Amino acid sequence: MRKAKYAMFRILAIAAFFVALAAPVKAQTFPDRPVRILVPYAPGGITDIAARLVGGKLGEYWGHQVVVENRPGGNGLIAMTAAVRADPDGYTLVMASGGDVALNPALMEKMPYDVERDLVPITGVSDAPIVLAANSASPYKSVVDVIAASKANPGSVDIGTPGIGSITHLVLEWFALSTGTKLQNVPFKGGAPAVQALVSGVVPLGIMASSSVAPNLAGGTLRVLGVTSAKRSTLNPEWRTLQEQGVADVNASNWTALFAPKGTPQAIVDKLNADVVRALNSPDVRERFASGGVQVIPSTPGELAARLKSELAIFRTVIAKSGMHLE
């Protein structure tokens, strides 16, 4: 009996040894076929752009195609769920936004995935500022004007956002909490219709990505009142942050990061991190991002995990206090 148990122990130990040896070998040959990056949104947005810029560079390094697969819908849940269900072999990745991994888990009671349980962080990729902008024909020329108007007549100030449950919706609620005001969210189905509504004067104010607002600034149609992140935007350093204008605590941006399914071998995670960080630090990729006022944010998996944990805690607090919810 003892001999049988000992023999079984030896077999298991030998098997574990060869499995351990196989992981580095897989990493050395990875990838040996095309890799796909899932994107939870339609083509043209910041998450899609991040996936295509990074994917293009990785394709050059690897000699294998990196296919960007857009799976929009469900507030990002469709692509994210597909990613966590994929084989954990490094051949299916997901370019997620901060909303997918930090906001949705704080906002939704029932989630089809758990970020910490089901995903492995690879690296941060890009960080795009969000702005509070006004139609030039509106009476709002400063953040102070917006606060004063909303305090004088609570709920009367309409602010357009790209949708309920978006990071911009969270910023609106956070702004209201920090200033003791009541603002009226006017949600649209995406950034493009929200900007168009702001340009045409359907709404006097909007909270949206700076890259969406920028094309309308030269003609004087819109003006930026403030940046929602703690630091000023590289797109225009003259834009003051909300914090500089007395809106305490608000610090949010539209960032993206790369993830793999849980169980992906550590050696492959390490290779992905090294190659993506290399791509983000290449001058041509940095310049492409910078042309839209977007910064690259290469990081270690640990640094990305820490950012997620921090933002999730903050977002949960804001959501609980504001009563923000999905309809």
Helix (H, G, I), strand (E, B) or coil at 94: strand
Question: What sign results for the dihedral spanned by CA atoms 115, 116, 120, 122?
Answer: positive
| pLDDT digit string, tens, across residues 32-74 | 999 999 999 888 888 999 999 999 999 999 999 999 999 988 8
pLDDT digits (tens, 9 = 90+) for 189-204: 777 888 999 999 999 9
Q: pLDDT tens-digit profile of 152-192?
A: 999 999 999 988 888 999 999 999 999 999 999 999 877 78
The whole-number average pLDDT for the span 78-99 is: 96
For residue 68, is it within any domain? yes
Which conformational region is residue 209 in: left (phi greater than 0), alpha (psi within -120 to 50 degrees), or beta?
beta
Which token pair is 56?
Answer: 């293009």
Do 143 and 223 lie in one domain? The reply is yes
Spatial contact of 315 and 103, defined as CB atoms under 8 Å apart = yes
CA distance 287 to 296: 10
> Percent of the chain having pLDDT more than 70?
91
Cα gap 306→293, rounded to integer Å? 25
Indicate the number of domains in the chain: 2
Assign residue 282 the CATH number of its domain.
3.40.190.150
Mean pLDDT of the chain, nearest integer? 90
User: What are the tokens at 270?
Assistant: 């390490």
Supply the CATH number for residue 139's domain.
3.40.190.10
Q: What was the pLDDT predicted at 23?
A: 47
Burial class (CB in 10 A: 0-12, 13-18, 19+), 139: exposed
Single out the residue of 22, 61, 80 nearest to residue 266, CA to CA: 22
Question: For 218-241, what is each residue's pLDDT tens digit?
Answer: 888 999 999 999 999 888 899 999
Q: Are residues 74 and 29 in the same domain?
A: yes
Residue 176 lies in domain: 129-245
Same domain, residue pair 133 and 182: yes
pLDDT in tens, 63-81: 999 999 999 888 889 999 9
d(CA 44, CA 305): 27
Beta strands in the chain (DSSP E): 35-39, 66-70, 92-97, 119-135, 158-161, 184-187, 205-209, 222-227, 253-261, 295-296
